[in-house]
Structure 1
């Protein structure tokens, strides 16, 4: 048997030895399973660790939380408990289980099971391996028949013909592995996957389940390649046909990674989503958000940035007439993601020169008066505050006012003279 202890780094080995000792004291067996084992064999480092327990996963998780002085999450509907450790490891504890599906695309019925049953319920053979971390066989690899060989050969193999009908999320996962690991499909499994696509099985998933699986593509190192693979296989249509059919978003997606302002802190998953959707109408965005049940924060953020991008692109259309102040208004107060999308969608090298001019001149628009100052001057609270501050910034930018006293005089002349 393959002993993987020598391949473990000092931090995961120390972690596993501590958890293994706790499991020994509780007289239960615990195994590291899934992606950590797969990536360990591939020589990759992973911080997310799934632990399968032959016994009470909740009790072992709570004991682990005590020694690491962290709080265990509430038990999920599938009996899993999560811990976030201070050194970056995320642990998910679960009791060995088996699953049955009463109908396609439904959540499974779950019951306690054996380790073998737990490995068989997993999506692909390359994820059906376990590493015991206590007992006499600690660190000796356990792999279902053919699993280790499939990993060596770079094959994505499902366990049975109904796999993608039972859980169409496995289609998206398999394509992510194809993109991330550069693996190929085992022929029978590819046939089963394509049958499920032809039967439109992803459309039977709830919007929440589809989005929760789909959005993981945005976190991939090669997210753009993964999204193009999803498009090729027809999965983008389950977001919106407008995204599949329009080249505007796909062209922006292809360019946006090279359009980032140097030194900016970027939310890359959000950047890719914004690049694909910023050209869509407000009505289409609302329809997608409702169907996929996006949270309010994401809906509002996408709506605001998309509106701003369209408005700024509109200003750039008559490029010959842009004044320094026009250029300032195009680029001012853009999020890093929206700025990159403006660059990507305008697709004209002049935009970088204009942005350079904006960066050089933006300090000219800094003002000293605040909303509190306006209130003290007797300006009634309301939308007029924003109009006054915008007017002051332009007056500063164009040299009409040059000091705090000038700003106060400008406000009195334009808004308080009557």
Structure 2
């Protein structure tokens, strides 16, 4: 019978309390059992119209659905169950706390002295210790390893910290410790710190250590198995093409043949949940990634380029699709702003080395586990909350370029940089870690920002965090510059809507605007700092100034013939024409450049050198002078047909003997 099954399930699952609901015939039955004085099931079921005693009760309910009964029961439980175990009963007191100006070295000594794993940081205000955050043993150890032992704990403490009041129940305590991944949970009496609850304190209350060992139950506080997982195979197949799903399935099969774990990771997985198209596929292999890539390429008719030093490879499919493969690896840094040293590791350590939580999602690809989403670091929560957060407090010390990426992701996705992460950016700026970065690394990050669809706000954020000074002290985002950046966006959108089959580099246009208030000497200093390649340096240090002289000439002229406009603009690359459109102050000047771009630059004479020879003109420098004259006349609307051009040449030659110094294209004398 139902009561017997409930009793059996209680024993089999070793439960303290069980409420079982079943719908049979036209009735709903509730059977309840309890082994704890915290839950009086007789009282609970009595509210539903049943009866019994504190440890066993039952109810038979008519004229209600099972869903209605379940909802009523949940409301009864929520209103009536109160745990006898509260924060004041679990906490350790007094809580060991330190001042924010304590050095990391001294903090390490305190942790050792008291044999604890975290310290609360508090500032004395009006005789009360005001909680500012906490710092863990791991953060302090890494700070000392990076030779930051004299830095104060306030520089690297976690400031986003959950707290509980003294009467908080066990469920609230558990949720705040686990969901926030806190090693310590401060217990407050209003604004006063009265104690602290550690993860070990909570673990001892929830279960006995022997039960974990004997029953082989998972320990929710062991970090190596703390990932949140769920099956998203249907979602994957809805979001991706059949061809891409087949590639992922084949990756899992080949990896399994080797005995390796295979995962899709990074931005590819993140963008699935942001509903953004991203086919930059990154695969992590728990094992020899290069051996896997070689075998996969061989089996599927693809090419493989491997990089032994980093344990990575690129698989290139016959239709051009590329897939990046890496061995699961961990990184460590010998000093601030150093390039990482790489070692083999597991998928969790591989994900932990990444820059932000939103980039730490992984999808398992092995058969039998295909489509299992793995989330070790609450990435789904941060994506839902639209927050950019680092994984550990020394992230920007190890690699300051992550600051640029934080800003890029924030603006690309419409997210917000987390409070703690923002404070650590300010700290990295204050401690001048960016000065140790090579110009090439800064330029790489800046270029990626300028290649974004809407880089204006991202560059403003660089200014907000005082980061532009690490490129050059003269760079400032003035209102004029912001207006020019917005104009670049309009110019690029206008160009793209022309659907011309011409490639151009959008970052060059934005960068030219960024340095548009700099003189030649300052521009050269900026290029030196960023180690910009000579082929690009000439654009900013030479062509930009030529374009500005041309722009001044156009703006100063009352009216220009088409031929004059052509000669002024014909020597410039697409990026410089778009730059001039963006910084031009007058609307008629923008229209003139647009007219050249869409109409004039396409105009060419039909007549050629052979035609000149046919009408008796001897080959020589005169050809250039004649063809330039034909082009001028055609640009000015005087010539329409091939016959018009021939007649023009005959008339041009007859009264005008050739000049000993004929003009070249662009108006220069030869």
TM range (shorter): 0.7 to 0.9
Structure 2 counterpart of 1:2, from 211, 227, 230: 230
The 5-angstrom pairing of residues 237-386 of structure 1 reads 237-244=469-476, 249-259=481-491, 260-261=494-495, 262-263=497-498, 264=500, 265=502, 266-278=504-516, 280-303=518-541, 305-355=543-593, 358=596, 366=605, 368-369=607-608, 377-379=619-621
Measure the CA separation in 1 of the matches of 2:468 and 2:628: 41
> How many angstroms does 1:128 deviate by?
1.7
| C-alpha contact (below 8 Å) 1:249/1:277 kept by paired residues | no
Structure with bigger RCO (C-alpha 8 Å, 6+ apart): 1
The 5-angstrom pairing of residues 165-180 of structure 1 reads 165-180=397-412
Deviation string for 1:301-329 (max 9, x for gaps)?
44454134212212123232534433333
> How many angstroms does 1:248 deviate by?
5.1
Deviation string for 1:229-282 (max 9, x for gaps)?
223222233333333266554432211222334514443233322332355444
RMSD: 3.4
| C-alpha contact (below 8 Å) 2:262/2:365 kept by paired residues | yes
Structure 2 counterpart of 1:23, from 255, 259, 273: 255
Partner of 1:225: 457
State the aligned residue count.
Answer: 413
> How many angstroms does 1:172 deviate by?
1.0
> How many angstroms does 1:331 deviate by?
3.8
1:409 aligns with 2:637: no
| C-alpha contact (below 8 Å) 1:132/1:139 kept by paired residues | yes
1:148 aligns with 2:380: yes
The 5-angstrom pairing of residues 124-139 of structure 1 reads 124-139=356-371
Q: Return closer, same or farther for 1:43/1:63 CA change in 2, 3 Å cut-off.
A: same
Measure the CA separation in 1 of the matches of 2:297 and 2:650: 61
| C-alpha contact (below 8 Å) 2:330/2:350 kept by paired residues | yes
| C-alpha contact (below 8 Å) 1:371/1:385 kept by paired residues | no
Partner of 1:97: 329
1:184 aligns with 2:416: yes
Measure the CA separation in 2 of the matches of 1:318 and 1:253: 24
Partner of 1:160: 392
The 5-angstrom pairing of residues 72-87 of structure 1 reads 72-75=304-307, 77-85=309-317
Measure the CA separation in 1 of the matches of 2:482 and 2:465: 15
Structure 1 counterpart of 2:351, from 99, 119, 122: 119
> How many angstroms does 1:95 deviate by?
0.9
Q: Return closer, same or farther for 1:58/1:360 CA change in 2, 3 Å cut-off.
A: closer
- Structure number with the higher strand fraction is 2
Deviation string for 1:51-108 (max 9, x for gaps)?
1111111111222333444432340642222234455643221111111111000011
SS at structure 1 position matched to 2:276: coil
Measure the CA separation in 2 of the matches of 1:14 and 1:281: 55
| C-alpha contact (below 8 Å) 2:550/2:568 kept by paired residues | yes
SS at structure 2 position matched to 1:270: helix
Unaligned runs of 5+ in 1: none
- Bigger drift between 179-188 and 63-72 goes to 63-72
| C-alpha contact (below 8 Å) 2:286/2:328 kept by paired residues | yes
Q: Return closer, same or farther for 1:255/1:187 CA change in 2, 3 Å cut-off.
A: same
| C-alpha contact (below 8 Å) 1:47/1:88 kept by paired residues | no
Unaligned runs of 5+ in 2: 1-228, 663-670
> How many angstroms does 1:390 deviate by?
4.9
Structure 1 or 2, whichever has the larger Rg, is 2
Partner of 2:72: none
